[in-house]
Amino acid sequence: MTPFMRDGQATDPSRRRLLRSGLLGTLLLAGSGTLASLGGCSRQPPAATGLQRLRAEDQAFFAALYPVVLGSSLAPESARRDRQLAEAITSLDRFIAHISPALQEQLTQLLDLLHSSATRGLLTGVWGGWSSASDEQLNAFLLRWRDSSLATLRMGYSQLMQLMVMAWYLVPDSWPAVGYPGPPYQDQLITSPNHY
């Protein structure tokens, strides 16, 4: 009898813990996804004014999250900073409108989960609304998901970060910081650029 066997059953504590936490995470996300979908069973809220895909609550979520993600990349003066945030959200919306319907649906499910008051606090540590969350709370949420033992939360973090950063670098205001002068010969283009 090996030290990892008891009554003929494997007792590897790390394997058991891994299986238990994986099952718990799956049940938590499946249950919270079900709860989130029950909030608006049959119809999807329309996109926010001036946007194609993002809803008003999505817009508020990204408006709260972008300053934490971009940090000093945003302008220090508030008028320019507000314009940059608006451009980043519009760029994100355009980008999302051009991804596959399957990815759009996955993102919508993730955002529904983050907007549901029943799941937001448990999954993110942000118990109030996104617009009232402090930068410290938002940063803690991002770190919590990035470093989570649950692959689903790490994937959610990765999806949010990749979309936000890609959309940010479509904004011309972000180009000087990375040394990109802009599209070459833009004044000689026959067709207007599609920005993708």
Q: What 3-state DSSP class applies to 9?
A: strand
Beta-carbon contacts of 65 under 8 Å, excluding residues fewer than 6 positions away, are 130, 138, 142, 160, 164
> What is the value of pTM for the model shown?
0.71
CB 169 within 8 A of CB 84: no
What whole-number distance in Å separates Cα of residue 17 and Cα of residue 151?
15
The one-digit pLDDT tens for each residue of the chain (196 residues) are 444 445 555 555 566 666 676 766 776 666 666 655 555 544 566 666 777 889 989 999 999 999 999 888 888 898 999 999 999 999 999 999 998 999 999 999 999 989 888 888 888 888 888 888 899 999 999 999 999 999 989 999 999 999 999 999 988 888 888 888 877 766 666 666 666 5
Domain ranges of the chain: 54-171
